[in-house]
Structure 1
Amino acid sequence: MIVILIVNVVNAMNIIVLGVIPVEEYIREIMPITFPAGLILSILFSLIIRDFQLGLLRDEGAIREYAAIIHRSGEELLMIISDILDLSKVEAGRLDIINEELNVSEIPELLAMQFAVTAKQKGLEFNISMDENVPLMIHSDPH
């Protein structure tokens, strides 16, 4: 638990020292959101790793699914932090918008990877369908 706290404090200090956001603004507005979220996710990840170490999850397929969920959750946390930093850039008038083509067909796969294991554990059927009228590609900022 102490290690998790130290790692999150070091990450916050890195953002304070190396970030583009003024220190006061980061501490006052952003850190109260990102620091607890980082702690919670770190604790959840450590509990999942503990389950692996105790041998509670012996099925290799389940281990791969959990690893994919952990990886995706970490990416999503980084995206949330990036979004918060982007909001600060908007307020400072320094945000560049990039117009790119995004593949909409990947969204059901990402949802399945995120929620299928949980649904299976709870004995729920989990199905995803995409309407045929949804365009395959859209133009948007990828962030």
Structure 2
Amino acid sequence: MQTARGGGPRLEREVPQIGGQLDDERCKEVISFMNHLSDGKIIMLKMKETFEYRQRLIHNPAESHTVLSGFPRLLDTKGLTHQDFSLLFGPETSAKLLEKWHTFYKCKVIREAESLTTTPVLQSLLRSARNQHNDDCPVM
């Protein structure tokens, strides 16, 4: 594991071992299945079961761009990002993120997203973020 001061999104972290994780083949089946689900509780459970698989995708430079297209429920199911953050960092750190999101992190995330290579999904997410709170963060 890489150690660096300050952390950040590019810091390589150990992924905690979460019980009930599925093997890669079963993850692929569940990912396909989730695209047809509407029950939020089942989606949350299936996303938890595929957490380690998703973390490997996120940290693989050749695959990281596929996370949102492979897991579109991250875009339309409230609480999934929070669940992943809680699994990765623990409930205390996750609660701190939620406390500081609107006052500290949101604008930084939007600015970082604006510097990424543009894609239709990214543009849609940026439009949505700007429309939700257009007076909080100045457009860069």
- Please say whether Structure 1 and Structure 2 have the same fold, judged by a TM-score greater than 0.5: no
Higher relative contact order (CA 8 A, sep 6+): 1
> Greater strand percent: which structure?
1
Q: TM-score, normalised by structure 1?
A: 0.29
> Greater helix percent: which structure?
1
Q: Bigger radius of gyration, 1 or 2?
A: 1
